[in-house]
């Protein structure tokens, strides 16, 4: 049974050190994929220009972008998983893990540290022990193994300690993130296709996929945190009056984490 429970972590891409963070994501694909990488990096330039967003995404970008997103089980829009969980790299490999020693791989909307800091300060390991503890308890329940009161107490303690550490980490956000740069600089690139000029049209039109109609997909938000939503599900926490935002945020969570 122990082997089967360990398999649960692997099945849902949960790492005991990194939690939901993808361990050492590839920085670049093989050279033959460079044209598609270049297209991917430019995908949101024609859409979310901070001053004049476009209502249609060109077919050459729209079709492959939509298909890759479908295969990954995530919506075709920047989300917590893509801008945070799979978007980090160490600056100096031999130095300890810290936000100061992390940089982003993609989604570099601005050439300032503010942009990278917002994402890497969120990509922390504080909650990894709590995530794994929840997974262990859920796995034991799934395999009909007895769970002692002390095991539940340990799990709840891990969640409490993890949340306290995470809160302290987030307090560091203002260290390298200026409010004016966040709100007026790169935040418009994360807005999605629901508000502003997209509202009247009903969303963004993907050329080559017009039969699907305009797509009103919300953008990235810290509320999409895979960890927090997992804790809510484990503790059966329901946020009254926020069912629609919860539903939208759940759609943005990666397919394997939704399954967990």
Residue 245 neighbours by CB under 8 Å, 6+ apart: 223
3-state secondary structure of 101: helix
The predicted-structure confidence for 68-109, as pLDDT tens digits, reads as follows 889 888 888 888 888 888 889 999 999 998 999 999 988 888
pLDDT of residue 72: 84
Structural contact between residues 230 and 87, judged by C-beta atoms closer than 8 angstroms? no
| pLDDT mean over 54-60 | 85
Q: How many CA atoms lie within 13 A of 68 on its CB side?
A: 14
Burial tier of 241 (Cβ tally within 10 Å: 0-12, 13-18, 19+): exposed
- The fraction of the chain above a pLDDT of 90, given in percent, is 34
* Out of 47-56, 104-113, 174-183, least confident range: 47-56
Residue 197 neighbours by CB under 8 Å, 6+ apart: 53, 55
pLDDT of residue 53: 62
Q: In the chain, which ranges are continuous DSSP H helix?
A: 2-11, 34-42, 59-72, 80, 113-120, 128-142, 149-170, 173-176, 179-181, 197-201, 226-235, 243-252, 255-259
Residue 115 neighbours by CB under 8 Å, 6+ apart: 104, 107, 108, 109, 181, 185, 186
Output the pTM of the full model: 0.80
- Give the total residue count for the chain: 260
pLDDT of residue 131: 94
* Out of 215-219, 228-232, 251-255, least confident range: 251-255
| pLDDT mean over 238-254 | 56
* Residue 37 in tokens: 């990488």
Among residues 260, 249, 254, the alpha carbon closest in space to that of 25 is found at 254
Q: How confident is the model at residue 163 (pLDDT cuts 50, 70, 90)?
A: very high
């Amino acid at each position: 049974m122990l082997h089967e429970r360990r398999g649960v972590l692997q099945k849902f891409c949960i790492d005991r050190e990194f939690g939901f963070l993808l361990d050492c994501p590839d920085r670049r694909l093989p050279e033959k994929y460079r044209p598609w990488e270049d297209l991917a990096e430019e995908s949101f330039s024609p859409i979310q220009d901070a001053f004049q967003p476009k209502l249609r995404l060109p077919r050459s970008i729209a079709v492959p972008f939509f298909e890759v997103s479908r295969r990954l089980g995530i919506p075709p829009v920047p989300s917590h998983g893509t801008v945070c969980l799979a978007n980090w790299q160490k600056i100096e490999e031999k130095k300890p893990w810290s936000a100061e020693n992390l940089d982003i791989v993609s989604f570099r909307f601005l050439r300032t540290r503010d942009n990278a800091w917002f994402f890497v300060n969120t990509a922390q390991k504080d909650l990894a022990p709590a995530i794994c503890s929840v997974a262990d308890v859920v796995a034991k329940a799934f395999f009909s193994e007895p769970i002692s009161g002390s095991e539940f107490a340990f799990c709840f303690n891990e969640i409490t300690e993890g949340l306290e550490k995470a809160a302290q980490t987030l307090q560091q956000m203002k260290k390298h993130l200026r409010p004016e740069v966040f709100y007026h600089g790169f935040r418009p690139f994360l807005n999605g296709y629901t508000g502003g000029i997209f509202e009247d049209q009903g969303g963004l039109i993907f050329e080559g996929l017009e039969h699907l109609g305009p797509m009103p997909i919300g953008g990235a938000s810290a509320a999409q945190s895979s960890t927090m939503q997992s804790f809510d599900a484990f503790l059966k926490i329901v946020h009254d009056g926020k069912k629609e935002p919860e539903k939208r945020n759940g759609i943005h969570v990666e397919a394997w984490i939704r399954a967990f």
